[in-house]
Amino acid sequence: MSTVKDGKTAAIIAYFTIVGALIAISMNAEPKNDFARFHTRQAFGLHLLFIAFGILSSNWGNIYSFFGLMLSYTILWFYGFFGALAEKKQSIPVLGPYFQKWFTFIG
C-alpha cells in the first residue's frame, strides 16, 4: 500500500494536460513506482488521443464532432483522475489496456 501512496502525486499530476503527463514521467524516473507508471500511461494515451482527434475534428469543421470529442474526453478524464485519487488501478474503458501495451516506454 505504501507504493500506491508514494506514486499518488505523480499519478494525479499526469492527468493535467500532456505537459503534466511528461512531468509525471520525469517524476517517476527514479525510483520507479508501478501505480504512477500505470496512471501516467493512461493519462498520456488519453491526452494523445484527444490531441489526435482534435486535429482530425478541426479539419472536418463539424461542431458536433467536437462536442462529442470533448464530452467523451471529459468523461474518460474524470474516470481516470478519480481512480488515481481513490488509489485504484482502474483502466479507462475500452482503451486503457491498449494504452498499457502501447506505452511500455513509460516506466
Question: How do the domains of the chain map onto residue ranges?
Answer: 2-102
Q: How far is CA 22 from the centre of its chain?
A: 11
Local mean pLDDT, 10-residue blocks, the chain (107 residues): 78 92 88 90 93 81 79 94 92 91 85
Task: Write down the pTM of the prediction.
Answer: 0.88
Does residue 66 contact residue 57 with C-beta atoms inside 8 Å?
yes
Model pLDDT, residue 5: 79
Residue 93 φ then ψ, to 5°: -55, 140
